[in-house]
A and B are shown apart, each in its own frame.
Chain A
Amino acid sequence: AQTVTQSQPEMSVQEAETVTLSCTYDTSESNYYLFWYKQPPSRQMILVIRQEAYKQQNATENRFSVNFQKAAKSFSLKISDSQLGDTAMYFCAFMKHADNDMRFGAGTRLTVKP
């Protein structure tokens, strides 16, 4: 079974600074997908970024980027120029190729301070 571990229950960062959220996963699969989702107080789950395991290049979406280390089974999220609106729970998720079960980590609560 695949497991996803987020070792930082809570983090905080000053506005405009950079923060990195950690995620590790355990799998024997070679082909899979990784995601970061944001859940603001509204409870809506919003896709931040995704990475296909077969792609060596790290995914980037504006201020959000990932550091994907396949051999180490690590998938960290870097948020640059943090904004107050980035305050939310962040979930790392894993899904095998050709599967329908997306496995989530327990989440990291990020607070951006003014």
Chain B
Amino acid sequence: NAGVTQTPKFRVLKTGQSMTLLCAQDMNHEYMYWYRQDPGMGLRLIHYSVGEGTTAKGEVPDGYNVSRLKKQNFLLGLESAAPSQTSVYFCASGRGLLDTEAFFGQGTRLTVV
């Protein structure tokens, strides 16, 4: 059982480039989340989804877009990368209100130069 899988694990971008991070879960979870982790700041919620076709903003959504076209996938897009978006990105999924436990992916380290 793979759980939550993030692709890619590492990426280096030049300022202004675009990219998409893919998160896939095989636990049939309704809820999916994208977080970023920065030194000394813990994890902060970027966007989340409560079901297929729905998305919502979290604490730090600016500069990111997301899509949830399929229940098992949650995509995070950076249209024009900036050095401030250098971070480790985590995807998580859960059953939402029925179950407060979130399952995390292994993270993606993104560097914008």
Tell which of B42, B88, B92, B101 touches A106, judged by Cβ atoms closer than 8 Å: B42
The segment from B12-20, B21-29, B44-52, B67-75 that touches chain A is B44-52
In the complex, whether A91 has a CB less than 8 A from a CB of chain B is: yes
* B interface residue count range (under 10 / 10 to 19 / 20 to 34 / 35 or more): 20 to 34
* CB <8 Å contact, B42 and A45: no
* A interface residue count range (under 10 / 10 to 19 / 20 to 34 / 35 or more): 20 to 34
In the complex, whether A95 has a CB less than 8 A from a CB of chain B is: yes
Of the candidates A37, A44, A100, A106, the one having the most CB atoms from chain B within 10 angstroms of its own CB is A100
Q: Please, which residues of chain B bring their CB within 8 A of the CB of A104?
A: 42-44
Rounded to whole Å, the gap between the CB of B61 and the closest CB of chain A is 11
A-B contact pairs, 13 of them (CB 8 A): A9-B40, A44-B104, A44-B105, A44-B106, A45-B92, A47-B101, A100-B96, A101-B48, A101-B58, A102-B33, A102-B45, A102-B102, A105-B42
Q: Could you tell me which B residues sit within 8 Å of A by CB distance?
A: 31, 33, 40-45, 48, 50, 56, 58-59, 88, 90, 92, 96-97, 100-107
